[in-house]
Structure 1
Amino acid sequence: MGETIHIAITRRVRRSHLADFERALADFASRSLAEQGMTGVHILHPAPDSGSTEYGILRSFQSARDLETFYHSTLYRDWVERIQPMVEGEPQIRHLSGLEAWFREGHHMPPRWKMAVLTFLAVWPVSIIVPALLRPFILSLHFILQAGLVSAGIVIVLTWVAMPLLVKLSHPWLHPASNKPTP
């Protein structure tokens, strides 16, 4: 089995169809979870009072084959036909990988050097703390198993604790343009 595939789709909705689109999207997202190889779907709504009509859909698939099968399915083709009168333009589709999935905000990515600095600030303490915490429990294991458990611990802490927290705390620095008040 290959690496999990993450796709970000952005759709701009006509103001007169916002409620209909949200209902259709919720129904489609729910039904799509039953498709083979689908491992998750997240819907990103525009921020209240932002004036935006842009919706995001983040999808995860077990493999590239599952992704291709889904986007050629009757369910997906029917969805596209159903929402056509509700949306403006074509969808923006991006494959997300690695660090990009943490740092992406709408269409805006911070400079790579900022992503590297923030990642370093997360990895450095986590790579010290996790081995120190695990050492008493894994000392009797073979060094390969020790390294594997430490690596798994670091990845878990980075993925679910350190990176989400650091990205949230550093949002003003990562995305200074999105923090400016709109006239």
Structure 2
Amino acid sequence: MNQPSTITVSITRTVKPGCEAAFERALHEFVQRSLVLPGQMGVHIMRPAPGSASREYGIIRKFANRDALTEFRTSPEYIEWNGLAMELTEGSGRVEELTGLESWFTLPGTPLRALPKWKMAIATFLGVFPVATILNLTISPAIRPWNFLVGNAVFNASVVALLTWVVMPVITRVLHSWLHSDEMKTSP
């Protein structure tokens, strides 16, 4: 049975020294072939910064639903790619399903990690409540006479902008050890 919600998967692989060019070629070829598979909604590749010592690649893939992800993982294209990637990288890589808000809860320079939804909900509430309260007290009186849709768009754009660039980065830093406490318990 098809599930309506999209699924985003984060894959992190560390390329073996000296295999970077071969990995890049193989990755490019695989992405081109795999995007025609059913249920593919896109892929984003994060490469190491030029001049850095990092050999870690991040691959974010989005699927239309769980069935599309399952079909992808059992496809000949993926099985062939996975075998080649194992030869060119250290270990099997890290694979995680993302729920969508991870970018708010991840410090810059660290990989995206799936977090418990209840923790993300609490942290989001701690950001949204004061922002919405302050904006209701400050800009709401000024935009109340405006057309409802325009005023609502300005209000909500203000909430999103403040959360994305001001409030959630602060909350992420302040709550980092609590948000990631499950990871810290399981890491070696």
> TM-score of the superposition, structure 1-length normalised?
0.65
Paired residue secondary structure (2:19) = helix
- Which of structure 1's runs of 4+ aligned residues deviate more than 3 A? 107-110, 112-129, 131-135, 161-164, 166-175
- 1:136 deviation in Å? 1.5
Between the aligned partners of 2:32 and 2:171, the Cα distance in structure 1 is: 30
The equivalent residue for 2:45 is 43
The equivalent residue for 1:20 is 22
Q: Which amino acid aligns with 2:72?
A: F
Aligned residue-pair number? 161
> Conserved in 1, the CA contact under 8 Å of 2:40 and 2:68?
yes
The equivalent residue for 1:147 is none
Unaligned runs of 5+ in 2: 177-188
Q: 1:96 aligns with which of 93, 98, 110?
A: 98
Paired residue secondary structure (1:69) = helix
The equivalent residue for 2:80 is 78
Per the alignment, do residues 103 and 28 of structure 1 end up closer, same or farther by CA in structure 2, a change over 3 Å counting? farther
- 1:32 deviation in Å? 2.1
The equivalent residue for 1:106 is 111
> TM-score of the superposition, structure 2-length normalised?
0.64
Q: Which amino acid aligns with 1:106?
A: P
Paired residue secondary structure (2:147) = helix
Between the aligned partners of 1:68 and 1:44, the Cα distance in structure 2 is: 23
Paired residue secondary structure (1:41) = strand
Q: Which amino acid aligns with 1:165?
A: W
- 1:12 deviation in Å? 1.1
The percentage of counterpart residues that share the same residue type is: 31
- 1:44 deviation in Å? 1.0
